Amino acid sequence: MGSLLLPLPVLAVILAALDAALVRVGLPWRAPDVRLFFHAYFLWALFGLLALLPAWATLRALERWTPRGPGALEALRPWLVLLGWMVLPVVGESIVDRHTSLVGFAGLFAPRAWLELGGAVLAALAGLFVLGRTVGHLPGVRTASIGVGLAFVLGMLMPGRKPAAAASSPGTRPNLLLLVLDTCRSDRLEAYGHTRPTSPGLAALAEESIVFEDSVSVSTFTFTSHLSMLSGAYPETHGAHLLDMRFRPERAHSLALLLREAGYRTGAFVGTDVLAGRTDLRAGFDVYDDQVDPPVCDTLAWQLVHAVQSLAAELVPALRFNGRPHWIQDFQRPGDEVLARALAFIRQDDPRPWFAFVNLYDVHWPYVPEGDGRERLVRPYAGPIDGFLFRSNAWQPGYVLDEHDVRHVNDLYEGEIHDLDALVSEFLAALELERGGTAVLVTADHGEGMGEGDTWNHDDVREVQVRVPLILRLPQPAPRGERRTMPVSGVDVAPTLLGLAGLEIPAGMEGHDLVSERVEPARERWVDDRDHVDPSDFRCALYSEGFKLVRFGRPPEVRYELYALARDPGGFLDVQAEHPEVFGRLRARMEQRGGGTTSSSEVGESAAALQALGYAGDE
């Protein structure tokens, strides 16, 4: 055991340095952070301590069963054995992670996962052997000190890449603010006719804006929907979905990149880890502020700890923490923090016009209003349901919600909207919009089921889940309180903002510029929801002719439902039999478009992104 005590701290420093350096290289928008190195060191030292016993047992077995090697190799043995026991669990976890999600282990039944795992073990053995042969004479206190010193410097000082400088000088373009209220359905806002006082601030903004009454999101998954807003492309085109959360510049444009090329300074400020910059959403942004979690959560070492704690929470209910078993990790940060950072960016002394994209995650599950919203909008309630709903520690499977429970959850949700509205109002006031020169577009990435037809959350394409606000305040708000009824979609966000900046809308963007283009009332709109682990849950909706056709599943195994939205605004009654001709036409359009054809191998291979999220439930 004594022979392992020198290697342990040395290996921990070297591995922590490598891990921290990998994080830095992968996350260039983060400044060097000394804490990251020390947090990583703490984790690796912990792994070293846990590895002591198996390493000691391995050494004993080697002594017993193998002949003694050359002296140098013999001296290196404890180092190599301990290194193996520290690194292999982390590498193994990251391989298993790539092939599984917490909602399914199917990927582990494919030979590929085991080939990778076997390959990693063989590579490690070969590496250790080569190391033993070539640098066998190295260990010793002096060599170890030099190694530690070098690793320490590497881990602490590895710099992030600087953001690219602006290309050209600006003319007089307006500032652009894209404010996405995550999970905020339009019918709960006063600006959209709600009668409870949920949102006086947005109502006041609407008085100076164009309110688009018929607005739908392109998806009900946060990442997919945001990418469509920021690229002007439907999910079918940009290709991202739950199991493959990545922006691919070869498939779609980037609004931020186009604006930056035109002389804008660009900043993104997000309240959820789902929109982390590592998904390449950061493309085109000078600043991408996504620090929901401490940086150590991005290290390989933490990923193993996270996997272990998630597993533990599956087994021990007390560790579930109302569905958020992530210890120091979180999925969201509060809106006031996000807005403060955005405001600091906006107020920078820089003559260029700015584009700020802000995502506020406060209204998303869990529904826990913390400001005045609770007092003002949550009516007295004595039942067993709380704002954590089905993921609450108090939730009893099989319990059927009654009308009081449903009303209470609705009150909590509206209380959160109220609190968010107050934050947004304060932020908008700080922008002094009345001075002109700044356009504001407020929208949401999807809505939220609040019990209508037993619809909860946002994992389907029900009307309550896709009807979102779209409020546009022009830089010089000429049309005051204008309301438009034309059909609009999240895919229109990028073209509209480009139009306001006076830029050309590139070919390939599928939305419309809502200010200067004429949008036909008969326009077709799509909602692509491929954000499910099981392809049979895929959904695609086509809005056309006043109807909504929904396809469930993936070709060739699909079924359809048709809703007549004029008399069934919630979209619950299937009227295929009544309208066979409409059904035939819309279905032919859908078949022509294809869609939802993500292959199962694509699904299996890309579960890593889902794992990075923690688990599938938090969209």
| Interacting residues toward Zn ion by CB under 5 A | 182, 222, 445
The CB-of-445 to Zn ion minimum distance in angstroms stands at 4
Cα–Cα distance, 240 to 246 (Å, whole number): 6
Cα–Cα distance, 596 to 585 (Å, whole number): 19
The CB-of-413 to Zn ion minimum distance in angstroms stands at 14
The pair of structure tokens assigned to 334 is 């509060």
Q: Which is nearer to Zn ion, 36 or 494 (CB)?
A: 494
The pair of structure tokens assigned to 230 is 């920021």
Angle between helical axes of 300-315 and 34-65 (0-180°, round to 10): 80
The CB-of-325 to Zn ion minimum distance in angstroms stands at 21
Q: Which is nearer to Zn ion, 24 or 539 (CB)?
A: 539
Cα–Cα distance, 39 to 297 (Å, whole number): 9
The CB-of-446 to Zn ion minimum distance in angstroms stands at 5
The CB-of-613 to Zn ion minimum distance in angstroms stands at 12
The CB-of-228 to Zn ion minimum distance in angstroms stands at 12
Q: b/e for 271-309, b at 16 or more Cβ within 10 A?
A: bbbbbbbbbebbbbbbbbbbbbbebbbbbbbbbbbbbeb
Cα–Cα distance, 221 to 619 (Å, whole number): 6
Q: Which is nearer to Zn ion, 292 or 498 (CB)?
A: 292
Q: Which is nearer to Zn ion, 456 or 583 (CB)?
A: 456
The CB-of-223 to Zn ion minimum distance in angstroms stands at 8
First-to-last CA distance in the chain? 47
The CB-of-361 to Zn ion minimum distance in angstroms stands at 7
Phi (first) and psi of residue 563, to 5 degrees: -120, 140
Q: Which is nearer to Zn ion, 185 or 408 (CB)?
A: 185
Q: Which is nearer to Zn ion, 227 or 562 (CB)?
A: 227
The CB-of-359 to Zn ion minimum distance in angstroms stands at 8
Cα–Cα distance, 124 to 2 (Å, whole number): 24
Q: How far is CA 608 from CA 97, 276, 544, in A?
A: 6, 14, 36
The CB-of-217 to Zn ion minimum distance in angstroms stands at 9
Q: Which is nearer to Zn ion, 298 or 445 (CB)?
A: 445
Helix, strand, coil share of the chain (percent; to 5): 50, 15, 40
Tally Cβ neighbours within 10 Å of residue 593. 15
The CB-of-365 to Zn ion minimum distance in angstroms stands at 10
Q: Which is nearer to Zn ion, 386 or 445 (CB)?
A: 445
How many angstroms from the chain centroid is the CA of residue 523?
30
The CB-of-517 to Zn ion minimum distance in angstroms stands at 27
Q: Which is nearer to Zn ion, 300 or 423 (CB)?
A: 423
Cα–Cα distance, 321 to 366 (Å, whole number): 12
Residue whose CB is nearest to Zn ion in the complex, by number: 222
Q: Which is nearer to Zn ion, 89 or 387 (CB)?
A: 387
Phi (first) and psi of residue 522, to 5 degrees: -90, 10
**CB contact set of 235 (below 8 Å; sequence gap of 6+):** 218, 219, 224, 227, 228, 241, 528, 530
Cα–Cα distance, 311 to 90 (Å, whole number): 15
Q: Which is nearer to Zn ion, 218 or 259 (CB)?
A: 218
Cα–Cα distance, 602 to 2 (Å, whole number): 48
Tell me which residue of 367, 437, 357 sits closest to 177, measured CA to CA.
357
Q: Which is nearer to Zn ion, 330 or 405 (CB)?
A: 330
Tell me which residue of 394, 288, 301 sits closest to 342, measured CA to CA.
288
Q: How far is CA 553 from CA 73, 465, 528, 606, in A?
A: 59, 18, 12, 20
In degrees to the nearest 10, what's the CA dihedral of 590, 485, 514, 220? -50
Q: Which is nearer to Zn ion, 99 or 326 (CB)?
A: 326
The CB-of-290 to Zn ion minimum distance in angstroms stands at 15
The pair of structure tokens assigned to 478 is 């000429």
User: What residue type is 507 in one-letter code?
Assistant: A
